Amino acid sequence: MGCIALCGDWTLPELQSGMPRTEAVLPMAELVHGGVIKLAGLGSIFNSNSLLDQSWLNNRMTIDEYRYAINYVNQTVLQSMVGQPKAISRSTLSAHEWGKAQAASFAIQQLNQQYSLRSIQFTFEQSQGETDAIAKKIKFGPGIELEANSFIYIKFQ
């Protein structure tokens, strides 16, 4: 029996080619308490086209800068996946997700340095499973729902 899609290791072009489909099903950003922007994602990947209202940025960053920041997180996570096996077992899933979360955390640190003079703070959270209070359902198609497990918060201080 031959391998078709899940054999071998990930390459950057393969990962990048799947981004439009992935982003299309991820939720839109939400404005939560205190004017904080909340993005829900899956596997440390987020929808860079998710901002519903540009006024949420409080004239502190442009829509292009917003998209750049979210794309920077996504690209850093994708880069961390290059060379990793496409097929993941249940026993290696948490290590795989941990590596992606570490990459997203690194990207968030870089963004905080870049935007610190404008008093913009990015925060990354990884939920701990289905019982986590911050989890959110993401629909991938008829009868296919997954829990959002990654979150970015953008706060304008």
**CB within 8 Å of 30: residues ≥ 6 apart:** 37, 38, 39, 40
How far apart are alpha carbons 119 and 3 in whole angstroms? 50
pLDDT at 141 over 60: no
Q: Read off the pLDDT of residues 70-124 as tens digits, 9 standing for 90 and up.
A: 999 999 999 999 998 888 777 777 787 889 999 999 999 999 999 999 999 999 9
Question: Which carries the bigger pLDDT value, residue 69 or residue 146?
Answer: 69
pLDDT at 132 over 90: no
Q: Predicted confidence band at 1 (pLDDT cuts at 50, 70, 90)?
A: very low
Compute the C-alpha angle 56/62/63, nearest 5°. 75
Q: Read off the pLDDT of residues 36-62 as tens digits, 9 standing for 90 and up.
A: 999 999 889 999 999 999 999 999 999
How far apart are alpha carbons 69 and 73 in whole angstroms? 7
Q: Is 29 in contact with 52 (CB distance < 8 Å)?
A: yes
Q: Read off the pLDDT of residues 25-43 as tens digits, 9 standing for 90 and up.
A: 888 999 998 899 999 998 8
Residue 96 is inside which H or E element, if any? helix 90-115
Phi, psi of 153 (to 5 degrees): -120, 135
Coil, helix or strand for 36? strand
